[in-house]
Chain A
Amino acid sequence: MPTPRTKLCLLVSLCCLLSAAGCRPRETPVELGNRTQVLHQNIGAEPQDLDPPLMQTNAHYQVLMALYEGLTGYDPQDLHPVPGVAESWDISDDGLTYTFHLRANARWSNGDPVTAPDFAFSAQRTLTPALGSAYTFYYFVVRGAQDFATGKTKDFATVGIRALDEHTLRIELHQPAPYLLFLLGSFAWMPVHRATVEKYGRFDQAYTGWTKPDRIVTNGPFALTDWRPGQEITVRRNDRYWDAANVRLSEIHFHLIENIDTEERAFRSGQLHLTEYVPGPKLKSYHDNEPQLLKAAPFFMTYFYGFDTKRAPFNDVRVRQAFSLALDRDRLIASEPYRGLRSARAYVPPGVDGYTYEGPDQLHFDPAEARRLLAAAGYPDGKNFPAVDITFPTNGRHQQIAEVLQQMWQQNLGIHLNVVNKEGRVYYEELGRKLYQLARAGWVGDYLDAHAFLSVYVSDGGQNNSGWADPTYDRLVHDSLNERDRTKRQAIYHELEAIFLRELPIIPLFHDSSPHLVSPAVQGYYPNLLNYHPYQRMWLKHP
């Protein structure tokens, strides 16, 4: 048995050993990456799978963008569609038929050619109900796609997607869709390698494991080399990619750090080039001291509170308007000064594809008018107003915003509302089942067109939890797509938004931003509305 003295010696030597293990001066992963063109990016939570139609959150799209390429791609600065696997396309005069000419030199990572039948197969797979893709609606502008996806027909020949030959694909729509080229670059339209999918299960079977690193075959600028659960996903430049000569990054390590404070510490210690978020309390410090690292781009998102418009008191439009007029949005966003938020003047975020709502400002702050409307609805100075809960999913930021709103309604309408937070899934479950009165929500557009926002609130919209329905609104949403002239289409969007802001099934509060920490070495990275960053155009500057 060692004496206490020996034990003490042991302890001291252990401490020395532990320190010696790390105290050599070392090159950080970021410094090493800059020399070897290895990008370290954090994407937060782990993806469920790398099967494109089964994607779940936006961050996972980053990995898919490295691994796959659709018919179109995106310009890194403003995200307008650019040629991807399709090098050119023809659009018929009525805007209903698109013919894509695929590159002859497009290759899968195993060397097989990427063909038009690959795209047709992938579309059929995504739309087959048994696969369970939540993104089949990305195809619903295609003739027959919705009927096939909802099981009304099992004959894929009825769907307007056909390979005319190895390198020509035809897509027929039932209604013009000016944003189709944008959708074609998205994950839901990315092709999968048929032989690989079918080797590990039925083509319409989800989660068969074909996406594991030693099995997966992809067609994008990078190929999967490793997936260490809870740690990182590694991709390496795909030398068979048709434009491999212009891809400058040699590897990307997608880190899977979920905690935003841990992520920020990893960035500061030189482990990450790019973060997924920035902790709220750190924004000021970066803004003041290292503004070159902080990129807070406007995001194609609206943060709002939704009403259950079917039940009292919010079935009365005057009450909804009063609640909106009682809010000082500029003061609300002043509580998060370094985030780059924009007060909502409309439902659709401004400036997308040249569209900004310019009708009457109905989201301004007017407490006197708010009180008048409330009194007209039968609640003078908030008297007799029923007990109402403001609900939001448990989260510090949502709580802070809910408390500011609670205080503004109390002050300007004389109504005291209860602030209630609920665990995430409980909250979303209740939202879906309309078991709420006034609840926090948000919407991120799936494609860069005002239609991505306005179409959500059609009467039978799957995400319309408000219970609000307006036949004129439905008709205009439908008509907007038939209008091929952009100016005229945007005039319809104005009309739609005017109805929406008058009826207010929701109260838009502000348009969010997506703040990130970006190492100065990262080149070819442009903050943009959807936080999409094509990796084939990125590289690292070695000082």
Chain B
Amino acid sequence: MLRFIVRRLLQVIPVLFVIITATFFMVRFVPGGPFTAEKAIPPEILKNLEAHYGLDQPLWRQYLSYLGKIAHGDLGPSFKYSNRTVNEIIADKLPVSLELGSLALLVALLVGLPLGVLAAVRRNSWLDYIASTVGMLGISVPTFVLGPLLVLFFAIHLGWVNASGWYGPSDRVLPALTLGFVYAAYIMRLTRGGMLEVLNQDYIRTARAKGASESRIVLRHALRGGLLPVVSFLGPAIAGILTGSFVIETIFQIPGLGREFVNSAFNRDYTLVLGTVILYASLIVLLNLAADVAQVWLNPKLKFE
């Protein structure tokens, strides 16, 4: 297993190198720059600004200098938030996205898994229909509809929580529910599908024939196999959920990384684009690896190869 993990980790280096190189040049070839604005900046001042950020150097030199910097863990200064570095911005905003993501994930798992299992066990019962309806709603109602609806009811109508912001614990409730609900729907549907497939397997029939209790069959024998599709979904999903959601962060004014990830491209904040891309790419690669390890652990038919 260790060899497998080390080998996969070594593969990360060329992958990241390609991603960094492609992003570095792509973002530079987009028209408009960090200092392009409605009110044009006088050319002599533009020159000074470009010199300040090293943009007056040839592109290949900027690229080499950037590679040198990131080798030392320095992601450079931000263009938009000029008195902060990209490292500071990520250190500032990633924990917020992580907190929101973890809470949403908790909601998703606590709602999605039990509902999925119940729906599969009580197939075609009212429970199954309710679960399927919830699943369908979760997938088809976008967060930008659900979020404002929750705000309308809980923040404006009842006045229980703030409509926006990230101050106290109560500010976590609506965003976590909104984001979690979507993932809960996917998890519910995947769990239900996975469980149904497993519950029809021979070894389950054998367990039943041996007189094992229903709860033992479901939780001990079926769940492990039934969770396989969920686990492979969770790898990239966790990367997405943890690095923040642009929509949720915008609706609830949450100072997370998801908004920076999108806005940095609009702002042509070259260094912040690269910083967030590197972070996101690394997380995806690592969590996919974690999902693979979990798959092998859950499914005895697979081996580390």
Residue positions of A touching B, CB distance < 8 A: 1, 3-4, 7-8, 10-11, 14, 18-19, 21-26, 28-29, 46, 48-49, 54, 56, 129-134, 136-137, 150-151, 206-209, 211-212, 228-231, 255-259, 261-263, 265-266, 268-271, 423-430, 432, 441-442, 462-463, 465
Contact = CB atoms under 8 A, between A and B. Distances in A.
Interface size bracket, B side: 35 or more
B250 A259 contact: yes
Nearest to B144: A261
A22 B170 contact: yes
Contact of B266 (A228, A425, A441): A425
User: Residue among B40, B151, B169 with the most chain A CB within 10 A?
Assistant: B40
Contact of B82 (A19, A54, A228): A54
Given A136-B45, A206-B52, A4 B118 contact: yes
B145 to A, nearest CB: 12
A200 to B, nearest CB: 10
Interface in B150-196: 151-152, 154-156, 158-167, 169-170, 173, 177
A270 B32 contact: no
A329 B160 CA distance: 46
B259 A230 contact: yes
Contact of A266 (B33, B163, B218): B163
A23 B161 CA distance: 8
B220 A1 contact: yes
Contacts of B32: 423-429
Interface string B32-50: 1100111111101100110
A424 B31 CA distance: 10
B270 to A, nearest CB: 12
A133 B35 CA distance: 12
Interface string B233-248: 0000000000000000
A430 B36 CA distance: 10
Nearest to A259: B250
Contacts of A48: 80-83
B205 interface: no
B59 interface: no
Contacts of B152: 265
Contacts of A428: 32, 36-38, 40
Contact of B165 (A19, A229, A231, A462): A231
B213 to A, nearest CB: 10
A181 B148 CA distance: 46
14 contacts: A1-B219, A4-B117, A4-B118, A10-B110, A18-B173, A21-B170, A26-B159, A129-B44, A207-B77, A257-B253, A258-B250, A271-B164, A462-B40, A462-B42
Interface of B: 30-33, 36-42, 44-45, 48-49, 52, 77, 80-84, 89, 92-93, 110-111, 113-114, 117-118, 121, 148, 151-152, 154-156, 158-167, 169-170, 173, 177, 215, 218-220, 250-256, 259, 266, 268
Contacts of A259: 250-251, 253
Contacts of A49: 82-83
A35 to B, nearest CB: 17
Nearest to B259: A230
Nearest to B263: A258
A130 B48 CA distance: 6
B255 A212 contact: no
Contacts of A18: 173, 177
A115 B204 CA distance: 87
Contacts of B170: 21-22
Contacts of B268: 425
A286 to B, nearest CB: 14
A130 to B, nearest CB: 6
B81 A56 contact: no
Contacts of A151: 44
A23 B158 contact: yes
A134 B82 contact: no
A209 B31 CA distance: 30
A136 B41 CA distance: 10
Ranked 9 nearest A-B pairs via Cβ: A230-B255, A425-B32, A269-B163, A207-B82, A22-B160, A22-B170, A429-B32, A265-B163, A22-B161
Contacts of B148: 261, 265
A4 B114 contact: yes
Nearest to B39: A463
Contacts of B169: 21
Contacts of B220: 1
Contact of A268 (B42, B117, B163, B255): B163
Nearest to A428: B36
Nearest to B115: A11
B114 A132 contact: no
A132 B81 contact: no
A132 B45 contact: yes
A263 B250 CA distance: 10
Contact of B160 (A26, A258, A263, A265): A26
A382 to B, nearest CB: 31
A262 B164 contact: yes
Contacts of B161: 22
B48 to A, nearest CB: 4
B52 A262 contact: no
B38 A265 contact: no
Given A259-B250, A262-B163, A266-B253, A229 B114 contact: no
A269 B250 contact: no
User: Residue among B36, B44, B251 with the most chain A CB within 10 A?
Assistant: B36
Nearest to B45: A132
B154 to A, nearest CB: 7
Contacts of B114: 4, 7-8, 11
